[in-house]
Amino acid sequence: MSKITAKDVRKVAQLARLDLPDDQIATYTEQLEKILAYVAQLEEIDTANVKPTTRAVEVVNVTRTDEVSATPVREELLDLAPQREGDFFRVPKILAE
């Protein structure tokens, strides 16, 4: 685990779709550095041959019949959109110039 830089944080912010100004990137870099340094204590722990836990209480596959059913709140869901056009969500253009 190497030290995190402002360049790393900017890249991560892009991956996470966060448009952050430079001063905020600087603050987050400083904070993430401290947090990741703390988290680095995990490196000291011997986890050879230890199985990862993905869920605390194991459940076997839960299956159900694959049946089509109507969503009773279709109109309400569409109305939640910041911009609705008929039965569609309206968004700015998808491809940049």
Binding site for other proteins (CB under 8 A): 1, 4, 8-9, 12-20, 24, 28, 31-32, 34-36, 38-43, 45, 47, 50-57, 59, 62, 64, 73, 76-77, 80-83, 89, 91-96
Place of tokens 């969503």: 71
Q: Which is nearer to other proteins, 56 or 68 (CB)?
A: 56
Backbone torsion region of residue 51, taken as left when φ is above 0, otherwise alpha when ψ lies between -120 and 50, otherwise beta: beta
Q: How far is the CB of 87 from other proteins (least distance, A)?
A: 13
Q: Which is nearer to other proteins, 59 or 68 (CB)?
A: 59
Write phi, then psi, for 54 (nearest 5 degrees): -100, -30
Whole-angstrom CA distances from 67 to 63, 64, 72 are 12, 9, 15
Q: How far is the CB of 70 from other proteins (least distance, A)?
A: 14
Neighbours of 82 (CB within 10 A): 7
Q: How far is the CB of 32 from other proteins (least distance, A)?
A: 6
